[in-house]
């Protein structure tokens, strides 16, 4: 069978399975997720075996150590997947929730009810844990899912999906509810992105290049974020010890993630004391600093930031630093150079805090807290399938609710429309 | 200036104005809308003058009488626009609403706050009232709007926008908040649909051809419905007088609209009595009936429906009628032939009502009420900018809330992330 025919058959099967998975009871879904967690534990040796082949091949092909780390399924990584499955099982089922209900003057009772979206395509790169995370979130929210992982992780993904299929089979649920796309070239993947009759939503997870390619070629709605150029603005009135601790956390705890801070904006009113303090603290953690001209008059040996640097998501131990004259200048900088991902103010000033929260329209805006909190679990959604910086449908971390839609239900007693 | 440069300048101006309109107070916005209503009344003669030129040109170009009716701005039509402006002014401002707020174990206070989407493009056909409706809804919800109306109504739309601009000017608000696209060919319009850096959302309103062309060419997210193939299923237990009244209302009150019924499904348990009753009632209202084979054994002179008919949105005094053996068959028919727009069941059976509401995943699902109630005003949203049959972002009638997004705000006290 041709690749594009395979994809079409796969998408049709997903569409057909969507109606079934949408009507599974919470009890059945939770039992299936718990059994998947159990099977993952039982079959971990065979899983590690398959993963080893992926890792060995990656090694032969010269993949970097850090990339191979992401690919590798250690016991810790498998335990994390098991924990994630159990956690999704414990989350509240969003399907069927009546969000609101009201009565009209003509006595019609109108409600909004949560339903699954239908068929969701997840396109991701080398990390095999996404396979289990995405499948479990889509399953719990009553959606059929089509998984397209990276070719480096193909054997690992196959092994994971085989385990999930066995559990589905045991429970009499069609395998088409969770499907893995066979290895295809990028051109064939684009064919998948044109199947808008069968697939309702695409969520790409990975580098900016992958995401741009998906958006460019998709006829299906895409929810995505390209990058996280996150800012922290340290206001004149900030508690400087708090500011230091938050900036450090946001930069060095996990520099390679999208909610790490990339640019530090400092109010001129506190720069003379805060900048030297922060510079020495960052340097102690091996962070490279790229600074504006004003910074360099305060701390002479700082490297100069280029115009380009203000747009950059370093994903590394590098930070841009700029002194601003007012909170308004900080907000304007964020609007111009930011990516609507995550931005924070550190302040003791009530008015500046409120103005920042109101005027900065990023998906998550924080006062006196680390940008690293832009995360589904941290904000209380239980888990997340990704972060959206598109304002439509979902903005910020996407949990189970964001994998659903709301339909209107109307209870009448014979009403007809007059005008 | 080239057309595509004009469009780019226009889109840039909208993006720049979006931030301003997003922060206008409710009082200012409502005052502006009330003044627009007043100006529309004061300047109605000059408006009718401009509209007359559009109508005369349409007449010369051989436009049908019904199309010219839609184009024509009678006093009744102008009064309706004035009323709509006042109504939008009276609606609750969605911007700034704190939808939910919760506290995390680490004492972070997390909330979701409603913000405008940004810049919205409305692409529509000949009805000039859309100009005022769309502009007022986008303005009240804090969005900048780009209006692209039909060329038949260009002078009328220009006159309407000129009135709105005068009011904006008087209030010191930039005109770029509400802009009308100058006359351009379709190819140039497609250039507008590629400006995803400046425009956040496109809402096309019009025939299926226009909407498909927009979806095909847009890089910007589009919220739309292609068509409304709405069904009414009359269950065996239905109150037949109620069923007759609802079917008649849904078919004949305004046959040319998307929430009019197109297909009637009748349970075999009541078909012998209900079908002849309904046929004579529909015929008395000049409705042409296209029926399945089983119907034709009960009422011999019915025309046979083709397979194609079950997919059709007649938008006319025509209805397809089919007898089904079970509610499940009705639901399966709706899933196969329907358009996820509006579907109703008429029944006295509690279980069948609940099953229909649960299993039919159309944007509006009704029990014992006319499909004509799928409308923003009728369902209590106050007004609507359109109806979505895409499950993402909005599903069903879209009011002010659906023209907004939700951002996360986080109030901290120095929290950093541990793991």
Spacing of C-alpha A288 from chain mean position: 27
- Tell whether B28 and B176 lie within a shared domain: yes
SS3 B393: coil
Judged by a CB distance cut-off of 8 A, whether residue A401 touches chain B is no
Question: Worst-scoring range by mean pLDDT, A14-23, A124-133, B179-188?
Answer: B179-188
Q: Where are the beta strands (DSSP E) in B88-149?
A: 98-103, 109-116, 119-124, 144-148
- Tell whether B218 and B240 lie within a shared domain: no
- Tell whether A316 and A259 lie within a shared domain: yes
Is A330 within the bounds of a domain?
A: yes
Per-residue pLDDT band at A356 (split at 50, 70, 90) = very high
Judged by a CB distance cut-off of 8 A, whether residue A276 touches chain B is no
**Residue contact B380–A104, C-beta within 8 A:** yes
- Tell whether B177 and B284 lie within a shared domain: no
* pLDDT value of residue B127: 87
Is A34 within the bounds of a domain?
A: yes
Q: Quote the domain boundaries for residue A335.
A: 230-379
- Tell whether B212 and B265 lie within a shared domain: no
Helix, strand, coil % in chain B, rounded to nearest 5 = 50, 20, 30
CA distances for A381 relative to A133, A371, A396, B121, B227, angstroms:
14, 17, 11, 32, 36
* pLDDT value of residue B185: 80
CA pair distance B372, B342, nearest whole angstrom? 9
Name which of B211, B349, B369 to mutate to probe chain A: the one with the most chain A Cβ atoms within 10 A of its Cβ.
B369
Interface subset of B 311-340, CB within 8 angstroms of A: 335
Per-residue pLDDT band at A347 (split at 50, 70, 90) = very high
pTM of the complete model: 0.93
Is B417 within the bounds of a domain?
A: no
Regions of chain B with pLDDT less than 50: 1
* pLDDT value of residue A219: 87
Is A386 within the bounds of a domain?
A: no
- Tell whether A181 and A328 lie within a shared domain: no
Name which of B16, B331, B416 to mutate to probe chain A: the one with the most chain A Cβ atoms within 10 A of its Cβ.
B416
Judged by a CB distance cut-off of 8 A, whether residue B117 touches chain A is yes
The CATH number of the domain holding residue A362 is 3.40.309.10
Is B199 within the bounds of a domain?
A: yes
CA pair distance A409, A411, nearest whole angstrom? 7
* pLDDT value of residue B366: 98
Residues 6+ apart with CB under 8 A from B5: none
Q: What's the CA dihedral at B162, B167, B173, B174 to 10 degrees? A: 10
Question: How many CB atoms neighbour CB A90 within 10 A?
Answer: 13
Residue A40: name the closest of A146, A161, A153 by CA. Answer: A161
**Residue contact A407–B378, C-beta within 8 A:** no
- Tell whether B399 and B365 lie within a shared domain: no
Judge whether B276 and B305 are in contact, CB under 8 Å: no
Q: A262: which 2 tokens?
A: 């990339």
Closest partner residue to B413 (CB to CB) among A368, A379, A417 is A368
Highest mean pLDDT among A118-132, A265-279, B383-397: A265-279
Judge whether A117 and A403 are in contact, CB under 8 Å: yes
- Tell whether A140 and A30 lie within a shared domain: yes
Is B389 within the bounds of a domain?
A: no
Chain A residues within an 8 Å CB radius of B370:
415-417
Interface subset of A 365-394, CB within 8 angstroms of B: 365-370, 372-374, 378-380, 390-393
**Residue contact A378–B22, C-beta within 8 A:** no
Residue with tokens 């080893």: A52
Residue with tokens 């401002």: B93
Residue B85: name the closest of B141, B129, B136 by CA. Answer: B136
Judge whether B51 and B73 are in contact, CB under 8 Å: yes
φ and ψ at B319, to 5 degrees?
Answer: -140, 145
**Residue contact A416–B379, C-beta within 8 A:** no
Range A313-329 average pLDDT? 97
The CATH number of the domain holding residue B400 is 3.40.605.10
- Smallest CA–CA distance, residue A123 to chain B, in Å, is 18
Range A239-251 average pLDDT? 98
Q: Does the pLDDT of residue A1 top 70, yes or no?
A: no
- Tell whether A189 and A269 lie within a shared domain: no
- Smallest CA–CA distance, residue A148 to chain B, in Å, is 21
* pLDDT value of residue A185: 80
* pLDDT value of residue A329: 98
Q: What proportion of chain A, given as a percentage, has pLDDT over 90? A: 86
Find the distance separating the first CA and the last CA of chain A, reported in whole Å.
56
Q: What is the SS3 assignment for A58-76? A: HHHCCCCHHHHHHHCCCHH
Closest partner residue to B407 (CB to CB) among A223, A392, A396 is A396
CA angle B167, B170, B174 (to 5 degrees): 80
CA pair distance B183, B187, nearest whole angstrom? 12
Q: Does the pLDDT of residue A162 top 90, yes or no?
A: yes
Residues 6+ apart with CB under 8 A from B13: B174, B176, B179
* pLDDT value of residue B64: 85
Per-residue pLDDT band at A175 (split at 50, 70, 90) = very high
Chain A residues within an 8 Å CB radius of B213:
none
Chain A residues within an 8 Å CB radius of B393:
392-393
Count the domains in chain A: 2
CA distances for A291 relative to A278, A345, B89, B212, angstroms:
12, 19, 48, 49
Question: How many CB atoms neighbour CB A362 within 10 A?
Answer: 26
Judged by a CB distance cut-off of 8 A, whether residue B101 touches chain A is no
Judged by a CB distance cut-off of 8 A, whether residue A97 touches chain B is no
Q: Does the pLDDT of residue A101 top 90, yes or no?
A: yes
Nearest chain A residue to B120 by CA: give it. A392
- Kindly write down the DSSP assignment for every residue of B60-94, as one continuous string: HTT--HHHHHHH---HHHHHHHHHHHHHHHHSPP-
Residue A246 has what DSSP assignment? H
Closest partner residue to A369 (CB to CB) among B108, B221, B358 is B108
Please write the tens of the pLDDT for every residue from A276-300: 999 999 999 999 999 999 999 999 9
Is A185 within the bounds of a domain?
A: yes
Is A417 within the bounds of a domain?
A: no
Residue B286 has what DSSP assignment? T
Q: B18: which 2 tokens?
A: 């979006």
* pLDDT value of residue B382: 87
Question: How many CB atoms neighbour CB A158 within 10 A?
Answer: 18
CA pair distance A326, A333, nearest whole angstrom? 11
- Tell whether B179 and B255 lie within a shared domain: no
Question: B327-337 vs B350-359: helix axis angle to the nearest 10?
Answer: 20
Q: What's the CA dihedral at B204, B208, B214, B215 to 10 degrees? A: 100
Length of chain A: 419
Residue A400: name the closest of A84, A57, A173 by CA. Answer: A84
Judge whether B78 and B44 are in contact, CB under 8 Å: yes
Question: Worst-scoring range by mean pLDDT, A108-122, A200-214, B330-344?
Answer: A200-214
SS3 B308: helix
Closest partner residue to B407 (CB to CB) among A108, A201, A361 is A361
Chain B residues within an 8 Å CB radius of A215:
219
Closest partner residue to B367 (CB to CB) among A19, A359, A412 is A412
* pLDDT value of residue A207: 85
* pLDDT value of residue B299: 97
SS3 B211: helix
- Tell whether A134 and A177 lie within a shared domain: yes
Name which of B18, B335, B414 to mutate to probe chain A: the one with the most chain A Cβ atoms within 10 A of its Cβ.
B414
Range A102-118 average pLDDT? 97
CA pair distance A402, A405, nearest whole angstrom? 8
Spacing of C-alpha A309 from chain mean position: 24
* pLDDT value of residue A349: 98
CA pair distance A297, A271, nearest whole angstrom? 11
Chain A residues within an 8 Å CB radius of B359:
23
- Tell whether B81 and B164 lie within a shared domain: yes
């Amino acid at each position: 069978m041709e690749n594009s025919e395979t994809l079409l058959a796969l998408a049709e099967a997903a569409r057909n399975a969507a109606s079934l998975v949408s009507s599974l009871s919470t009890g059945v879904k939770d039992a299936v997720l718990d059994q998947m967690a159990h099977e993952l534990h039982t079959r971990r040796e065979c899983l590690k075996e398959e993963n080893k082949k992926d890792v060995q091949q990656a090694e032969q092909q010269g993949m970097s150590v850090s990339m191979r780390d992401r690919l590798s399924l250690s016991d810790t990584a498998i335990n994390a997947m098991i924990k994630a499955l159990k956690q999704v099982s414990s989350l509240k089922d969003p399907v069927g929730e009546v969000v609101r209900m009201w009565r009209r003057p003509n006595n019609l009772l109108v409600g909004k009810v949560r339903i699954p979206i239908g068929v969701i395509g997840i396109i991701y790169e080398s990390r095999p844990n996404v396979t289990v995370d995405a499948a479990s979130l889509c399953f719990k929210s009553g959606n059929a899912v089509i998984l397209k992982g990276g070719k480096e992780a193909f054997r690992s993904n196959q092994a994971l999906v085989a385990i999930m299929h066995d559990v589905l089979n045991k429970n009499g649920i069609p395998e088409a509810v969770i499907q893995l796309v066979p290895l295809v070239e990028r051109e064939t993947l684009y064919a998948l992105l044109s199947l808008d009759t069968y697939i309702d939503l695409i969520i790409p997870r990975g580098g900016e290049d992958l995401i741009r390619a998906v958006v460019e070629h998709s006829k299906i709605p895409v929810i995505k974020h390209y990058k996280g150029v996150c800012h922290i603005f340290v206001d004149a009135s900030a508690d400087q010890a708090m500011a230091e601790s938050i900036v450090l956390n946001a930069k060095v705890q996990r520099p390679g993630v999208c909610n790490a801070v990339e640019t530090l904006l400092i109010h001129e009113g506190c720069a003379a004391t805060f900048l030297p303090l922060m510079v020495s603290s960052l340097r102690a953690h091996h962070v490279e600093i790229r600074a504006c001209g004003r910074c360099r008059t305060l701390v002479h040996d700082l490297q100069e930031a280029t115009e380009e640097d203000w747009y950059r998501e370093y994903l590394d131990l590098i930070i841009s630093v700029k002194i601003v004259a007012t909170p308004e200048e900080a907000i304007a900088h964020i609007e111009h150079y930011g990516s609507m991902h995550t931005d924070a103010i550190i302040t003791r000033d009530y008015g500046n805090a409120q103005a920042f929260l109101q005027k900065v329209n990023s998906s998550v805006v924080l006062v006196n807290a680390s940008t690293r909190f832009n995360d589904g679990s941290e904000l209380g959604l239980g888990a997340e399938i990704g972060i959206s910086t598109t304002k439509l449908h979902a903005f910020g971390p996407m949990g189970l609710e964001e994998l659903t839609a709301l339909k209107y239900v109307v209870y009448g007693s014979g009403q007809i429309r007059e005008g």
